[in-house]
Amino acid sequence: MIPEIGHFALIVALCMALVQGTLPLVGAARGIPRWMALARPVAQGQFVFVAISFICLTYAFIHSDFSVLYVAEHSNADLPLIYRIAGVWGGHEGSLLLWILMLTIWMLAVTVFSRHLPEEMVARVLGVMGLVAVGFNSFILFTSDPFERLLPAAASGQDLNPLLQDPGLAIHPPMLYMGYVGFSVAFAFAIAALLGGKLDATWARWSRPWTTVAWMFLTCGIALGSWWSYYELGWGGWWFWDPVENASFMPWLVGTALIHSLAVTEKRGSFKSWTVLLAIFAFSLSLLGTFLVRSGVLTSVHSFASDPKRGLFILIFLVVVVGSSLMLYAWRAPKVGLGGSFALLSRESLLLANNVLFTTAAGTVLLGTLAPLIVDALVAVGILGPTNKISVGAPYFNLVFVPIMAVAIFFLGVGPVAKWKKAELPELAARGRWAGISAVIVAVIMPFLLGHWSWLVSLGILMAFWIIFTVGHSLWERLHRSRSDRGWWGRFAGLPKSFLGMQLAHFGVAIFILGVTVIGGYETGKDVKMDIGDTVEVGGYTFRFDGVMDTSGPNYQASRGIIKVFKDGLPVMELNPEKRVYHVQRQPTTEAAIDSGFFRHLFVALGEPVGNGSWSVRVYYKPLVSWIWLGCVLMALGGLLAISDRRYRTLARKQREMLLSGAEQKLPGAHPNPAMTRAEVKS
């Protein structure tokens, strides 16, 4: 009965989405207030029904209702409760339900936090999101129904994929989807602005916090996924340029460009059409990501066994969304007009460089990811002769991505100190001089201190310290110029949050680069066969293998390795990597044992038993690896800090009257604009 309720709730939600996707839009176009007013209650209702549906599926999982096919395929009565819940999104159907749940959560958020927006805008934004919901909801109902019954019911379930039975993976998809789907808000704002023909700084200011929040979730989601693959796949890599990773990374790159472009649109009114285009791309790439993951067209470690019908549905949906929004764009964008003009060297032009670089990077990742598909397609239509399946390896991405980002990092140091409209080269050079010189000195010396010198390491350190020094320099300048007499801490606390947020996020980039660089240059490790009592030296530590013992968990049997670690002859710890075999799927999984320190990880994983009690063992010393994720967390926190800026709250109150009076710039009482240059503050 419960699954039927879930199914029915989903059908009701689809009907509400249909209403939400049509009437408010028509109402906004024709000026019918009652139709526009429908948007909020219908969106909230849709949230309620999708939530009911989601709860029903969760209930079926918790109570191991194996008369539901999806539950029987992805759960088991022996599964611990947390994984029975995480099992809801452990497969295709449920993860789509999660997708749509996230979408309705975002809609709900829009209905709550949009009181200061004009009614037409709300109607259009929610209308567009309603259309997206129609697409995904019918995708679920017509091709991937999670509530399909299995009669007679299975006696026991096929269990959740053992690799997914992990706390990291329990929260990774919700985070990632929150980010993916969050770009639908930015997208909806962009389309709403195109429909309404009103694309201005006010629009950018509305859409900016939404984009930042989505970007934060996506950042955390990607970082979590990377962390998960680091410790769960047993080979200690943190990024593989796997198509599915790329699928989440491309929207992130474009989203990052979008955040920066929105800054220009908000402050200066420029880049308007470009910003809209980026918003469309960011969401389209999220959809493309979903298509790539769900359709199974690409070889990937994540691919689900899947049904071509589903891939086709998403492909059509993708074409409709991208096609119609680009058409709308082509029709409306020429009327948008240009914003303020700017000189060849100005903060605008530097942010433009950031945008171009990030979109280029996204483009090259896209090309590398889709190349196998493109070749297949060219063969299919006869442009290329018959050829074998190709694949593009990780070196391609590193070779292309690193140089592009190196240039972007250079601009990252300069951009925040350049003036809007027109910057002077001598002044920029003067301000960046010390940061640049110090960074070069550190980059030359530090690799020697770390062990050995190499170009790549030196370049990485140069980039990281270039950021650190420029961030430090602008903070110092700000504090110095602040007229507050509340002491240094008071001055620091008095700095605008969005300024601090930006600096924190940029500092996070530096930490991330340091992690990547140091682990790339100084990681050491070995795959060895170890008999009982054998030792191996890695990174100044001695690892002694004391055999394995059998152990068992709630739903698995495991061989647990006993590895004692010594430093300078003294025992420092014991590591217990496991090789687990889960009862149902009989698939072995590797649980690496990691001693996580701030400056280094010791990573030990069991390979296979190779006779007489000996095992093949993988032992790594990974310096600074945790900084990779720390950097991502700092970036996300930077975003959080930026949206907590006072001007958004002041704005919320003042917006309506400002709109009525037609003036949108220079709010009285708003905080001094953080990104505003000295020139403007002076003038």
Site residues (vs other proteins, CB under 8 A):
161, 163, 234-235, 296-297, 299, 301-308, 341, 343-344, 349, 356-357, 360, 363-364, 367, 371, 387-393, 395-397, 399-400, 403-404, 527-529, 585, 587-590, 605, 607-608, 610-611, 614-616, 618
Nearer to other proteins, 403 or 554 (CB): 403
Nearer to other proteins, 47 or 397 (CB): 397
Nearer to other proteins, 184 or 355 (CB): 355
The two three-digit tokens of residue 100, written as one number: 């749509």
Distance from C-alpha of 444 to C-alpha of 458, rounded to nearest angstrom = 6
- Helix, strand, or coil (residue 526): strand
Nearer to other proteins, 301 or 549 (CB): 301
Q: What's the min distance (Å) between Cβ of 382 and other proteins?
A: 19
Nearer to other proteins, 517 or 614 (CB): 614
* Neighbour-count burial for 256-279, b at 16+ CB within 10 Å, e otherwise: bbbbbbbbbbbbbbbbbbbbbbbb
CB-based contact 272:221 (threshold 8 Å): no
Distance from C-alpha of 590 to C-alpha of 606, rounded to nearest angstrom = 7
Nearer to other proteins, 299 or 324 (CB): 299
Q: What's the min distance (Å) between Cβ of 564 and other proteins?
A: 20
CB-based contact 664:255 (threshold 8 Å): no
Angle at 165 between CA 160 and CA 166, to 5 degrees: 160
Angle (deg, nearest 10), helices 425-450 and 497-522: 40
Angle at 126 between CA 662 and CA 138, to 5 degrees: 160
Q: What's the min distance (Å) between Cβ of 592 and other proteins?
A: 12
Q: How many CB atoms lie within 10 A of CB 29?
A: 16
Q: What's the min distance (Å) between Cβ of 349 and other proteins?
A: 8
φ, ψ at 424 (rounded to 5°): -105, 130
Q: What's the min distance (Å) between Cβ of 556 and other proteins?
A: 13
Nearer to other proteins, 64 or 349 (CB): 349
Q: What's the min distance (Å) between Cβ of 389 and other proteins?
A: 4
Q: What's the min distance (Å) between Cβ of 478 and other proteins?
A: 31
Q: What's the min distance (Å) between Cβ of 551 and other proteins?
A: 18
Chain-centroid distance, C-alpha 197: 30
φ, ψ at 603 (rounded to 5°): -125, 120
Q: What's the min distance (Å) between Cβ of 588 and other proteins?
A: 5
Q: What's the min distance (Å) between Cβ of 229 and other proteins?
A: 10
Distance from C-alpha of 274 to C-alpha of 359, rounded to nearest angstrom = 11
Nearer to other proteins, 389 or 452 (CB): 389
Nearer to other proteins, 303 or 650 (CB): 303
Q: What's the min distance (Å) between Cβ of 117 and other proteins?
A: 34
611: left (phi over 0), alpha (psi -120 to 50) or beta: left
Residue with tokens 């859409």: 207
Nearer to other proteins, 197 or 393 (CB): 393
Chain-centroid distance, C-alpha 607: 32
In terms of C-beta density within 10 A (0-12 exposed, 13-18 middle, 19 or more buried), how is residue 208 classed? buried
Q: What's the min distance (Å) between Cβ of 363 and other proteins?
A: 8
Angle at 243 between CA 237 and CA 249, to 5 degrees: 80
Nearer to other proteins, 79 or 605 (CB): 605
Nearer to other proteins, 612 or 661 (CB): 612
Q: Residue by residue, what is the 3-state secondary structure of 629-662?
A: HHHHHHHHHHHHHHHCCHHHHHHHHHHHHHHHHC
Closest listed residue to residue 416, CA positions, set 479, 498, 359, 358: 498
For residue 657, what are the contacts with CB-CB under 8 A and spacing of at least 6?
none
Distance from C-alpha of 325 to C-alpha of 329, rounded to nearest angstrom = 6
Nearer to other proteins, 114 or 349 (CB): 349
Q: What's the min distance (Å) between Cβ of 101 and other proteins?
A: 24
Which helix (H) or strand (E) covers residue 547, if one does?
strand 541-552
Whether the bond between 496 and the residue before it is cis, its omega within 30 degrees of 0, is no
Distance from C-alpha of 477 to C-alpha of 426, rounded to nearest angstrom = 18
CB-based contact 131:157 (threshold 8 Å): no
